[in-house]
Structure 1
């Protein structure tokens, strides 16, 4: 579904990505791990067209998307839950959710407002509140719900649980388990190796802008100590 090969990217004269390669298959959940400042968010930004790729290639559903505008990439079926949530603070919860909702691929069971409310009952309770008045955890639920309502083929979550209280983290992980069980393809950035071991089918670790390790769950179990040195936990 998503195929990233030899990706390079920079902010001005400062190169951040030197050689990033990763793949996400249909219905797979893949984790992207690494310490802060190693290039995880830059990788996501480059995949989404928010940062220009200097070299390498990105393909989605067999078609190159390198160099496309972010909105064109989103319309092809990639939904992003960005780092820091980036919800529309001056809109209500309901307005945030319906603002970008679409079912461009005529899904058999499309995501609707009611399905999102069923997944996150708190959003239903707070649907008329201004988004800026929500807690950090509720804003993350809103960002996930907003992405789901675009009915993405692939969902990318950047720092899925960073800064959240343990009880909210558990709710987010439960949500991702539900999505995976329904066949949603997921690329998730996080540092919680213990949870990702259970959730993800395959794992990719990056260090200083390079892919330094990748493998499935069995490989992660074998190389767990090595992976921990890269992730820094």
Structure 2
């Protein structure tokens, strides 16, 4: 039940976001937060929730109105396989705690950005080769908007960096189906059982650990039900920052 002016405003915002101009409306809010100062926007969500596509759409929409926008992925700051699977290939704890090199993410990207340095590094690691990469650093300005997408972004050691954050919510069964569809390009159809088993034993419980530990839906500014890629539905909105 809507009981106050604030509730009415929130309900109106949620209704208005549930249509095709969702990105235009969010872009206006992010630009209002930025006000020509550097900010970081985080796009979090479980694996296969649509973070990468959402981030790319948001990036393109922002670029139409603001020239200085960067897009980075936590996937480019993985640990080596030796570290990622040290607790076992099926370990949920290994997936949650050991997947990413947060020290490098902070040292190369987040801290330089927040400390108004002139350059940041958008990529540190290549998963396919399992090696560090050496890429040219990217110049930033006092008005750069940095979008960071990936899993586990509302961990206690990261949340202080985000000026605004999203959490894309999907049911784990939906995420599994998307993972199967995505992985069929890499694996033969006979390995679908292996994909399902690995997801149920490592990836799903690892992400459930994260959700229990970090409560990303509570900490994020916007929660979006992204079960349908073509019809994202806002189910929580911190309109006060806009």
**TM-score w.r.t. structure 2 length?**
0.35
Choose 1 or 2 for highest CA Rg.
Answer: 2
Return the structure number with greater strand share: 1
**TM-score w.r.t. structure 1 length?**
0.36
Return the structure number with greater helix share: 2
